[in-house]
Amino acid sequence: MPLKITLKPHEKALIGTAVIANGSTKAELVILNKVPVLKEREIITADEADTPAKRIYVSILNMYANPRNERDYHDLYFSLIRQFIDAVPNEKVLGLFMEMSQKILEGDHYQALKVCRKLIDYEKEVLDHGKRKS
């Protein structure tokens, strides 16, 4: 099934292993085969991964963007999850990790990234709450 994406002027996207940059006008692209596709706003670089949840996101992103080397990122992913659970052992976090891991096992890394965004939001909420108490 084709995937249609719309890029804003000057927006970048990852399609397969290529980073593309749009010109000065809106563009619509139709992707006819199955390849990793991420818009610029969905990408977190290793340098931007300044929290545990963001580092988990980057590990999933690497699995998604580089499927031939996916297994290279599994150890890192599970190590980061263990660290996160040790720091924040609650049902919400465990549920998100179970859902993310299931999506990865199913080969649906894009959906795993969407679940990880919920983890990033939850992490931010917890950190912001801690700052307000200080």
pLDDT in tens, 108-119: 999 999 999 999
Long-range contacts of 96-102 (CB under 8 A, 24+ apart): 96/122, 100/56, 100/60
Q: Which pLDDT value is given to residue 134?
A: 58
Domain shared by 65 and 85, yes or no: yes
Please state, in angstroms and rounded to a whole number, the distance separating the CA atoms of residues 129 and 133. 6
pLDDT in tens, 40-63: 999 999 999 999 999 999 999 999
Question: Is the same domain home to 115 and 70?
Answer: yes
Same domain for 116 and 52, yes or no, is yes
Statement to judge: residues 79 and 18 lie in one domain: no
Indicate the number of domains in the chain.
2
Task: Identify the band that residue 88 occupies on the pLDDT scale cut at 50, 70 and 90.
Answer: confident
Structure tokens at 9: 């002027």
The predicted structure's pLDDT at residue 1: 75
Token pair for 11: 């927006």
pLDDT above 70: residue 20 = yes
What end-to-end distance do the CA atoms of the chain give, in Å?
51
Residues 24 and 57 both lie in one domain: no
